[in-house]
Amino acid sequence: MPEAPPAAKSRKFRGRVFINWDRCKGCGFCIEFCPPKVLKFSDKFNNHGYHPPILENEPACTGCDLCGLYCPDFAIFGIREAVSAGVPAGADVPASPAAAA
Amino acid sequence: MSVSPAINPVEPFLRTERMPHIWCPGCGIGTTVNCFSRALVDSKLPLDKVAVVSGIGCTGRVAGYVKLDSFHTTHGRAIPFATGLKLANPSLNVVVYSGDGDLIAIGGNHFIHAARRNVDIKVICVNNFIYGMTGGQVAPTTPLGATATTSPYGCFEAPFNLPFLAESSGAVYVARWTAYHVRHIAHSMVEAFKKKGFAFIEILAPCPTLYQRRNKLGDGLETMRYYKQHSVIKNGASTRELKLDLKGEITVGKFVDIERPTLQDAMDQRYREVLKESYCGRGGA
């Protein structure tokens, strides 16, 4: 897990990305247009034979939901989550919800 | 497998049982639907007062995928149906969501006359320069020189300039964006929903399977990069100069935002002048 960028450490929120693994058609819009470049193509295939994105650098995510706005398959979206006191952004990031969602 | 606590903001607007949709990987139509859902949220329209009308084509599928009152009309007849819907039930916000082939080719006559009469409907035209669903034939928007299944030597028919067509026909709101300009599209849709009269938004979208592939323009992502690099935002630009070339610069922005009496208002006013007290008005007006 890469280090959170300095800007992310001072934020009051944490960005999280949810990926609907089997709805993705691998167009790559979310990967290309993610401002902090959080995503990359997975090596694994989904049920339809596409490579969905996975999180490469989750601590840098700002939760701007631009991936959700671009995704033509409604397969990904980002949210902003309040960071609870004492838990800095980037630390204690739960296992990627990507595969679960 | 844990259940995600958050839901995709577009999900409440979708008939999720119909997903995955038929659109190809890299197609831009789904992106415009995301913008449409954000615009509905931002404009705070009551959702039971929004109706989506589509014609035939890839974009015509939108009516079947959105969880709103919607109707999938016959080819080219989305605007006539929407006109009737709006006149019969003026409290509805009627959105016509269709493609260039449906709205401008077979439905071209309806388009110019609805704009001329200033019917209070919002027209979202996803322009992919080709007839996508039927196999990639030349559309009235296909740029000069572009290859399609019915123009193997390149298209030699001059294409329509849709914002110019809409403005000269009488639309009160005209904007053009590409699928890359997601936030602009959503903002433009909010503006159009607030507008009274015939609002027209053209959205250029990639058709990687037919248009881009046949013209060696790369895949959907390549086209989105092209839109990013070659789009110039010129709000208020003259619509006369908005021609699109195969590989040229794309002028985007909001070009027209004027006020003009709508068909319903003009009719009410005229009948009141002529019939005076005997005019009882329209039901629900």
Structural domains for chain B: 14-259 (3.40.50.970)
User: Averaged over B231-251, what is the pLDDT?
Assistant: 90
Tokens of B48: 């039971």
pLDDT of residue B137: 92
* Alpha carbon of A77: minimum distance to chain B alpha carbons (Å): 6
Chain A residue at shortest CA distance from B219: A27
* CA distance linking residue B84 with residue B110, whole number of Å: 12
* CA distance linking residue B104 with residue B109, whole number of Å: 8
* CA distance linking residue B150 with residue B135, whole number of Å: 10
* Alpha carbon of B97: minimum distance to chain A alpha carbons (Å): 16
Assess whether pLDDT exceeds 90 at residue A2: no
pLDDT of residue A13: 83
Going by pLDDT thresholds of 50, 70 and 90, the confidence category of residue B281 is confident
User: Averaged over B119-132, what is the pLDDT?
Assistant: 93
pLDDT of residue B280: 81
Note whether A29 contacts B27, CB cutoff 8 Å.
Answer: no
What's the sign of the alpha-carbon dihedral B40, B42, B45, B46? positive
Note whether B31 contacts A66, CB cutoff 8 Å.
Answer: no
Which residue in the block uniquely carries the two structure tokens 């589509």? B54
pLDDT of residue B130: 92
pLDDT of residue A76: 92
Chain B environment of A77 (Cβ under 8 Å): 6, 8-10
Of A48, A70, A77, the CB nearest to B8: A77
Note whether A50 contacts B11, CB cutoff 8 Å.
Answer: no
At residue A16's C-alpha, the angle toward residues A10 and A19, to 5°, is 160
Q: Provide the b/e sequence for A7-34 (b: ≥16 CB within 10 Å).
A: ebeebeebbbbbbbbebbbbbbbbbbbb
Going by pLDDT thresholds of 50, 70 and 90, the confidence category of residue B127 is very high
Of A16, A32, A69, the CB nearest to B34: A69
> Of B89, B102, B114, B96, nearest to B284 (Cα)?
B89
Q: Express as a percent the part of chain B with pLDDT over 70.
A: 97
Assess whether pLDDT exceeds 90 at residue B246: no
Going by pLDDT thresholds of 50, 70 and 90, the confidence category of residue B2 is very low
Chain A environment of B24 (Cβ under 8 Å): 25
- DSSP H/E element including A33: helix A29-33
> Of B162, B160, B157, nearest to B125 (Cα)?
B162
Instruction: Decide if B99 contacts B59 (C-beta within 8 A).
Output: yes
> Of A76, A73, A21, A20, nearest to A47 (Cα)?
A21
Question: Is some CB atom of chain A closer than 8 A to the CB atom of B21?
Answer: yes
Per-residue CA distances from B238 to B49, B60, B156, B184, B204 (Å) = 34, 29, 25, 19, 18
Instruction: Tell me the per-residue pLDDT of A10-46, one tens digit each, with 9 for 90 and over.
Output: 777 888 899 999 999 999 999 999 999 999 999 999 9
Of A82 and B145, more confident: B145
Q: What are the residue ranges of helices labelled H in chain B?
A: 29-43, 62-65, 78-88, 100, 108-117, 162-169, 182-194, 213-214, 220-230, 263-275
Say how many C-beta atoms besides its own lie within 10 A of residue B245's C-beta.
12
Note whether A101 contacts B10, CB cutoff 8 Å.
Answer: no
Q: Which domains does chain A have, with CATH numbers?
A: 6-82 (3.30.70.20)
Going by pLDDT thresholds of 50, 70 and 90, the confidence category of residue B20 is confident
Going by pLDDT thresholds of 50, 70 and 90, the confidence category of residue B282 is low
Note whether A69 contacts B28, CB cutoff 8 Å.
Answer: no
Chain B environment of A68 (Cβ under 8 Å): 8-10, 34
Question: Using beta carbons and an 8 Å cutoff, which residues of A are at the interface with B?
Answer: 16, 18, 20, 23, 25-29, 32-33, 48, 50, 65-66, 68-74, 76-77, 79, 97, 100-101
Instruction: Tell me the per-residue pLDDT of A47-92, one tens digit each, with 9 for 90 and over.
Output: 999 999 999 888 888 988 899 999 999 999 998 888 765 454 444 4
Say how many C-beta atoms besides its own lie within 10 A of residue A40's C-beta.
15
Assess whether pLDDT exceeds 60 at residue B283: no
Chain B environment of A16 (Cβ under 8 Å): 6
ipTM, two decimals: 0.84
Instruction: Tell me the per-residue pLDDT of B176-226, one tens digit each, with 9 for 90 and over.
Output: 999 999 999 999 999 999 999 999 999 999 999 999 999 988 899 999 999
User: Averaged over B261-267, what is the pLDDT?
Assistant: 91
Note whether A74 contacts B11, CB cutoff 8 Å.
Answer: yes
Amino acid letter for position B206: P
